Amino acid sequence: MNKKVTAAITAVGGYVPEYRLTNFELEKMVDTNDEWIRTRTGISERRIQKGDGLATSDMVVPAVKELLEKRGIDAMEIDLMIVATVTPDMVFPATANIACDKLGAKNAWGFDLAAACSGFLFALTTGASFIESGRYKKVVVVGADKMSAIIDYTDRNTCVLFGDGAGAVLLEPNYDGYGVQDSILRTDGSGASFLHMKAGGSLRPATAETVANKEHYAFQEGQSVFKFAVKGMADVSAELLERNNLTGDDIAWLVPHQANKRIIDATANRMGLSPEKVMLNIERYGNTTAATIPLCLWEWKKQLNKGDLIVLAAFGGGFTWGATLVKWEY
Ligand code: UT7
């Protein structure tokens, strides 16, 4: 009898740029202070990609290289690469194509997926489906964003929140039930006005006026997003546990999108999880959009054990949100 194929995470890689933009440095740039940022968000510093000619793909490449080295495979073995990002190198071609070229992944096809802060979860579920169907054996799922490229460093509402980084996982077929178990994913386009970039798309192509009006930067109505995020991320995580007949006690780790420590606390609380079971790196990296969840996995890898049940949860621009249950494989 053929066993069911599941998509197991078999390697993790990550990359954050060297440069640390601290709260104290931001104090010199906008009317803010370290205390406000730490108590309202949980962030102390974030990494920024500096240097001419560098883009999101230049963070994807080292993250994927690390993953390939850890798994002991060559880039030529990758079948498919999905890059979740809202800061692609260019509108087209896709950052996945550019990264595959830089990596020498000549047998892979790939595409970008835009779902803002939920991008990694959406890409993980998409990548897992290609494994579960039996079609592919090695799918690389990346979450990567160079948020500094779309942040207005005179706007204190956004510039204190975001940072740059990339995280990647390798998905491979598993016949013992490890890997992605279940996902609940949601979108609600009526939330678009609360978190978006006003210009640069087909609705408002770039003009001298859009540049002068600063319409190519991320705009966020923080308080409104906060309210939807607390409810959305907590509801969907609780629903995922319930439909899998699980409680907080069964979960080894919550791996939450790192937008605001207060949103993360509310989600953990709703799931009945103690704070020691929550992966957190917001303090050091801020909100790296699609990269937050894989960067957590990358940093916590040593504390993950085979068989651990973990819940990945996110909320972000779109609105988009979701939660994914994973049984850790290695
Ligand atoms: O990852 C994508 C999804 N995004 C999110 O999940 C983000 C959700 N939103 C948030 O995390 C929070 O709303 C923020 C961190 C963005 C803002 O925190 P808040 O507690 O909602 O603050 P607020 O916007 O209600 O502002 C409170 C006060 C205001 O002053 P007044 O009107 O009370 O005098 C703001 O002007 O804080 C002021 N403020 C600041 N003060 C110092 C806003 N930004 C700053 C700042 N430094 N950077």
Measured from the CB, is residue 117 less than 6 Å from ligand 1? yes
Distance 157 CA to ligand 1 centre (A): 6
Residue 218 is predicted with a pLDDT of 97
Tens of pLDDT, residue by residue over 21-74, are 999 999 999 999 999 999 999 999 999 999 999 999 999 999 999 999 999 999
Average pLDDT, the chain: 97
Residue 2 has pLDDT above 80, yes or no: no
Q: Residue 1 — very low, low, confident or very high, per pLDDT cuts 50/70/90? A: low
Measured from the CB, is residue 153 less than 6 Å from ligand 1? no
Residue 310 is predicted with a pLDDT of 98
The backbone torsions φ and ψ at residue 107, rounded to the nearest 5 degrees and listed phi first, read: -95, 0
Residue 94 is predicted with a pLDDT of 98
pTM, rounded to two decimals: 0.97
Measured from the CB, is residue 292 less than 6 Å from ligand 1? no
Residue 329 has pLDDT above 80, yes or no: yes
Residue 3 is predicted with a pLDDT of 81
**What residue's CA is closest to ligand 1, atom 21?**
223
Q: How remote is the C-alpha of 181 from its chain's centroid?
A: 19
Tens of pLDDT, residue by residue over 276-291, are 999 999 999 999 999 9
Q: How remote is the C-alpha of 133 from its chain's centroid?
A: 24
Look up tokens 């954050």; give the residue: 16
| CA-wise closest residue to 171 among 308, 62, 330 | 330
Q: How remote is the C-alpha of 3 from its chain's centroid?
A: 31
**What residue's CA is closest to ligand 1, atom 17?**
222
| CA-wise closest residue to 49 among 150, 167, 147, 152 | 147
**What residue's CA is closest to ligand 1, atom 11?**
260
Encoded amino acid at 214, one letter: K
Residue 236 is predicted with a pLDDT of 96
Rounded to whole angstroms, what are the CA distances from 89 to 18, 37, 97, 317? 19, 29, 10, 19
Tens of pLDDT, residue by residue over 292-324, are 999 999 999 999 999 999 999 999 999 999 999
Ligand 1 atom closest to Cα of residue 26: 48
Summarize the confidence of residues 229-242 as an average pLDDT.
95
Cβ-contact 253, 234 below 8 angstroms: no
Look up tokens 């799931």; give the residue: 271
Summarize the confidence of residues 140-160 as an average pLDDT.
98
| Test site for ligand 1: of 40, 150, 282, most ligand atoms within 8 A of the Cβ | 40
Of 23, 97, 100, 117, which one is the catalytic site residue?
A: 117
Tokens coding 172: 């491979």
Check if 2 is active-site: no
Tens of pLDDT, residue by residue over 99-142, are 999 999 999 999 999 999 999 999 999 999 999 999 999 999 99
Q: Which residues contact 72 (CB under 8 A, 6 or more apart)?
A: none
Measured from the CB, is residue 218 less than 6 Å from ligand 1? no
Measured distance CA(103)–CA(58) in Å, rounded: 10
Encoded amino acid at 87, one letter: T
3-state class (DSSP) for residue 54: coil
Residue 252 has pLDDT above 90, yes or no: yes
Residue 82 has pLDDT above 80, yes or no: yes
Boundaries of CATH 3.40.47.10 in the chain?
6-178, 181-327
Distance 170 CA to ligand 1 centre (A): 36
Size of the chain, expressed as the number of residues it contains? 330
What CATH code is assigned to 6-178?
A: 3.40.47.10
Measured from the CB, is residue 158 less than 6 Å from ligand 1? no
Q: Is the domain covering 181-327 a CATH 3.90.800.10 domain? A: no
Residue 240 is predicted with a pLDDT of 97
Q: Residue 174 — very low, low, confident or very high, per pLDDT cuts 50/70/90? A: very high
**Percentage of residues in the chain having pLDDT higher than 70:** 99
